[in-house]
Amino acid sequence: MGSSKRNLWLAGTVLGLSGISLASAAAAQEAAALHANQAGYLPGGAKEATLVAASDAPLEWTLRDARGGTVASGQTEPFGPDAASGQSVHIIDFSAADATGEGFVLAAGGAQSEPFAIEDGIYGNLAADALAFFYHQRAGAPVEAALVGEEWARPAGHSPDITRCVRTDHRGNDWGGCPYELDVSKGWYDAGDHGKYVVNGGIAAWTLMNYAERADGGVADGEAALPEAGNGVPDLLDEARWEMDFLLSMQVPEGTSLRLPLGDQGGKETLTLTQVDASGMAHHKVGDSAWTGLPLPPQDAPDDRVVNYPSTAATLNLAATAAQCARVFDGVDDAYAGTCLEAARRAYDAARRVPDAFATEVLEGGSGAYGDTNVEDEFYWAAAELYAATGEAAYAEDMRSSRFFLAVPRPGVRDIAWPTVEALGTLSLLTAGALDEDERARAEEKLISVADAFLAEAEEQGYGVPFDRSYVWGSNGDMANRGMVLGYAYDLTGEMRYRNGVLGVTDYLLGRNPLGFSYIAGYGENALRQPHHRFWMGAVEEGLPLPPAGALAGGPNETGSGDEVTKALVAEGCAPMACYRDDYRAYALNEVAINWNAPLFWIAAFLSEDVQDRS
């Protein structure tokens, strides 16, 4: 809470106490709940929790160890009404506590937290599990019991995944078809369904490769439970390559002419289709011909797969990630780096040749739309990645002439997300050292300014999150992406307040929220069990597994869009942070997705790093 708000609240407390009875004063000391990070806290980091209580006055809190002994105590700081949670809350700051171990419990006002640990290693484990999510989501390969355990093992799904374009869409428009088949057997299943999408795969792969570029490989060979472990390649790059291979396989062969809708034709039944040279473009997605039901393990899914026609957005995602791939695999696998760079150049040239082929559905269902009719940000991102990979003047000119040059997230306007990717270009330019001295200084200043704005937002939130904005579909992924920006600010400055801001994000995801719920499976006493997922349905379907540790739910969604569970919850008037249910039917709240788990991995890996090495 900002100091001015805190002072006003405390002043109101002093003025109001004289007029209440002893009985009501006693009742005001009672708390409804105490919400903390259920996985635990780092010994040297910020440690905060939130008490739900109507009291205007500070309350006594204690921190007890597993034997019940008090190891720290103090007074809460009244915050008052918190709009995002719909609660009246207090802040408990126990950062000074120096005890370590497991089984700690916070207590205040008659409420107590779930038990948690205070120890090093918490985030190393979370990073490993968050990365393992991608192996679980692999298409075209078995998930091996020796690597994940019998419960989650399964045969390969969609192996092979051979797809063709449909000729006539559901409106009756004749697209002409594609004169080839595509083998797109690799990649990650995007979410709870079996679709694979270039634009969502792009940002997810970028996030993993970004951490690898920033941290010299990120996860050393042999550290992750992967089939490729021991091959001499950092494990993080092995996992990213599985998706990169899929993205490359979605590229249109040379010498191909296709009929595509140009310009924004959204909502039209009759499309205007134009014959274009589509060589080097990327198909937008591949998915089922119709929505499939739950449960449906990948190996049992039908093979009537359809690849959507190319889009400019998908093409630029390929250009950007393939250029990034060329950098991170340089010196690791030079042949693969060369393959990626060639694909990136072809894709960028194709996007410039066909700049307005926007994604248009050919079927009525079976996969998500992921439509985007503004690709200026994708053009900047791709040009920046290619410039960082090659240093060539043509890419530099395109990059610097873009209105998004040196763009960073804009709080309340544009966060990092699959349709708004301009900040990815700037982060890559900073990571790769591809800017001149003046440009770098400007980019750093802008990024730190955004991080400061995020921290200011956290001060005004009863649950300490840098998130003073609406809670929409995938809000937990948005939250994690903000954590990544704060991590960059720490890298640039070494100031602990930015790292503590990242801890605020993970505290929220791990249980310091108004529901007292850990959105990350396997972490905490009250954690995700019923994701919207066709295989991880063990909570409701005998013989299927629960979600594996490290899977992140989409989170609160106050928009009321999507499934009936979400619509009913919002209609009841839920507070933004409380618009959530752990319900497999609630895909707008409880689906998992690669673009949410990727920044979760990033921030968990960041928090597992040795602080002194980053100073």
541 is catalytic: no
- The H-or-E segment that residue 128 falls in is helix 122-136
Q: Which of 415, 532, 563, 583 is catalytic?
A: 532
DSSP state of 232: S
Q: How far is CA 208 from the centre of its chain?
A: 11
Q: How far apart are CA 615 and CA 612, in angstroms?
A: 5
Q: How far apart are CA 414 and CA 422, in angstroms?
A: 9
Q: Which of 56, 114, 193, 372 is catalytic?
A: 193
DSSP state of 65: -
Q: How far apart are CA 175 and CA 265, in angstroms?
A: 14
Outline where DSSP puts E strands in 76-172: 77-82, 87-93, 101-108, 111-112, 116-118, 162-163
591 is catalytic: yes
Separation of first and last alpha carbons in the chain? 27
**Cα–Cα nearest to 359, from 311, 288, 308, 319:** 311
Residues 6+ apart with CB under 8 A from 436: none
Q: How far apart are CA 542 and CA 520, in angstroms?
A: 22
Q: How far apart are CA 269 and CA 250, in angstroms?
A: 27
Q: Are 235 and 327 in contact (CB under 8 A)?
A: no
Give φ, ψ of 10 to 5 degrees.
-65, -35
136 is catalytic: no
Which residues share a beta bridge with 31? 53
491 is catalytic: no
**Cα–Cα nearest to 152, from 568, 586, 538:** 538
Q: How far apart are CA 587 and CA 564, in angstroms?
A: 9
Q: How far apart are CA 195 and CA 368, in angstroms?
A: 8
Q: Which of 221, 415, 582, 583 is catalytic?
A: 582
Q: How far apart are CA 557 and CA 193, in angstroms?
A: 19
Tokens coding 228:
């490729």
Give φ, ψ of 115 to 5 degrees.
-65, 150
DSSP string, 367-413: S-----S--HHHHHHHHHHHHHHH--HHHHHHHHHSTTTT---BTTT
Outline where DSSP puts E strands in 135-201: 162-163, 182-183, 196-197
Catalytic positions, please? Answer: 193, 532, 582, 591
